[in-house]
Amino acid sequence: MSKKERGLFELYQADPERADWLVWGRKTGHSRRGFLKKAGLAAMGTVLGGQLVFGRNMPAGLIPAALLTDDPFPIKGKHKDLTILNDRPWNVETPPHLLHPAVTPAGVLFIRNNGIPPEDIDAAKWTLTIDGESAQRTKTYSLSELKSRFRAYTYQLTLECGGNGRAEFNPPAKGNQWTLGAVGCPSWTGVRLKDVLEDVGIKPDAVYIGYYGKDTHLSGDTSKVVISRGVPIEKALEDEALIAWAMNGADIPLMNGHPLRLVFGGWPGSTSGKWLSRISIRNKVHDGPKMTGQSYRVPCKPVAPGTKVADEDMCIIESMPVKSLITSPKTGGILPYGRSLEVAGKAWAGDLEVAEMHLSIDFGASWQPARLLPPKNRLAWQLWSASIDFPDRGYYELWARATDSRGKMQPMVLPGWNPRGYLNNACHRIAIKVV
């Protein structure tokens, strides 16, 4: 049986008292009152840098408050108010109000890692190899060669984790319980993937590309590939498909793939491989880790909640569904009666554009159109805004609904259930109290 690697937050969420036993490294046991025994408190004190003065009163199964701050688990360059879902591997999401800027700051872009990022990176020695059955030759480029030999492009591209919104599914789906914040739309700079692939040569039988990165498996086994996904060759040859080295004009943050990564706007973020070191041009659908079985797949046909679905009846996720967020104001706002509420947010639709944006304050009985701006470029999210009036004092819910360029709109409530909890694009809603 393979060893299961889990992070601190995941352990405590699943079974707090067992987590005490696993984290603090000894069979501490618990008294009838449910408090940690002396040995466990001593181990905890070692990590915290001093004895727990009133540790005898500390309930078992409780994460010390110090470990809930960003000091013990520093994420260099990231905003202190991001929400940590797991620390092994790092999975961190962004509260919607921090996504209000038109271009997502690097410090608030979500983190979705599958392994351990590489250490002691020397960008000057970083290389990218292109190979595969459908490559006319195998060729290796240094990062400096990529920058000097090919024209650089900058695009604002939307990245969203396929599991964004998973926390709302019932029956619950396993995996990081993302709510709303596994999305962002920074500006990316790099070379077009198609220019590099064409420099190597693409055979006529090419159907897919697959990537490989330099992150390490959680087990520490360097021979294991953490994740190796990809996209059909048609997606790889789009103008906006980038091999990127910069985000918002600066180096990509380590947790987001420095010094080199793929960026495929509009598709699940898992296709945009980080710490990129190799791309294979395949003559078949790529079959790397997390490409097969049920990873990043949904039932090809709708199923009832809780249904077990065979692998052969699951289809690979490609373009993400239409979706929107209210980024201003934050939920829970209080508004004086008679004053209009200025509302704004973002909307996106995978490979498509958002055609319409509407808001409701009466649980969908009626909808008001919002002002919608075009995207900065293809595959970028779109900004929207509106002014909302409320007819009376009291509690309201403001709902946001986007419609894509093919007429498909967000569902009011959860979309079709699937075993892995992917593609939740239900309407975002916030609470407003008028006094």
Does 92 fall in a domain? Answer: no
Give the pLDDT confidence score for residue 181 in this predicted structure.
Answer: 97
Residue 84 lies in a domain: no
Q: Is the dihedral of CA 216, 222, 227, 230 positive or negative?
A: positive
Q: Which residues contact 57 (CB under 8 A, 6 or more apart)?
A: 35
Query: Diameter of the chain by CA atoms?
Result: 71
Q: Is the domain of 151 the same as that of 297?
A: yes
pLDDT digits (tens, 9 = 90+) for 264-300: 999 999 999 999 999 999 999 999 999 999 999 999 9
Domain total in the chain: 3
Shared domain check, 161 and 248: yes
Bridge-based pairing of strands 333-335 and 428-434 is parallel
Once rounded to an integer, what is the mean pLDDT over residues 135-155? 98
Assign 36 to helix, strand or coil.
Answer: strand
Are 35 and 166 in the same domain? Answer: no
In angstroms, the CA 178 to CA 183 distance is 10
Residues 288, 360 within the same domain = no
**Dihedral angle over CA of 224, 26, 68, 106, nearest 10:** -10
The answer to whether position 83 is within a domain reads no
Range of the domain at 311: 111-316
* Residue 32 lies inside a defined structural domain of this protein: yes
Shared domain check, 146 and 36: no
Each residue's pLDDT tens digit, 91-113: 999 999 999 999 999 999 999 99
- Structure confidence at residue 228 as a pLDDT band (50, 70, 90): very high
Q: How confident is the model at residue 77 (pLDDT cuts 50, 70, 90)?
A: confident
Band (pLDDT 50/70/90 cuts) for residue 1 is very low
Q: Is 320 helix (H, G, I), strand (E, B) or coil?
A: coil
> Which of the two residues, 88 and 269, has the higher pLDDT score?
269
Q: Which among 277, 301, 316 is the end of a domain?
A: 316
CATH number of the CATH domain containing 389:
2.60.40.650
Q: Six-digit token pair at 401?
A: 């609904």
Residues 364 and 216 both lie in one domain: no
- Is 97 inside a domain boundary? no
pLDDT at 3 over 80: no
pLDDT in tens, 318-360: 999 999 999 999 999 999 999 999 999 999 999 999 999 999 9
Q: Answer yes or no: do 341 and 299 share one domain.
A: no
Looking at this protein, which amino acid is placed at residue 400?
A: A
Nearest to 98 by CA among 84, 112, 81, 77: 81
Residue where a domain terminates, one of 269, 288, 316: 316
* pLDDT higher than threshold 50 for residue 35: no
pLDDT in tens, 304-322: 999 999 999 999 999 999 9
Identify the bridge partners of residue 343 per DSSP, sorted by sequence position: 386
CATH number at residue 215: 3.90.420.10
Let me know if residue 185 belongs to a domain: yes
Residues 193 and 261 in one domain: yes
Lowest mean per-residue pLDDT among 35-49, 71-85, 149-163, 216-230: 35-49
Do 191 and 286 sit in the same domain of this protein?
yes
Query: 164-207 pLDDT, tens per residue?
Result: 999 999 999 989 999 999 999 999 999 999 999 999 999 999 99
Whether 410 is covered by a domain: the verdict is yes
pLDDT confidence bin for 76, thresholds 50/70/90: confident
Q: Which of 294, 316, 338 is the last residue of a domain?
A: 316
The reply to whether 271 and 352 lie within a common domain is: no
Predicted pLDDT of residue 179: 95
> Do 230 and 148 have their domain in common?
yes
- SS3 (DSSP) at 374: coil
Q: Does any domain span residue 412?
A: yes
> How many Å apart are CA 24 and CA 33, to the nearest integer?
19
Please answer whether residues 310 and 299 qualify as being in contact, where contact means their C-beta atoms are separated by less than 8 angstroms: no
- 31/168 same-domain check: no
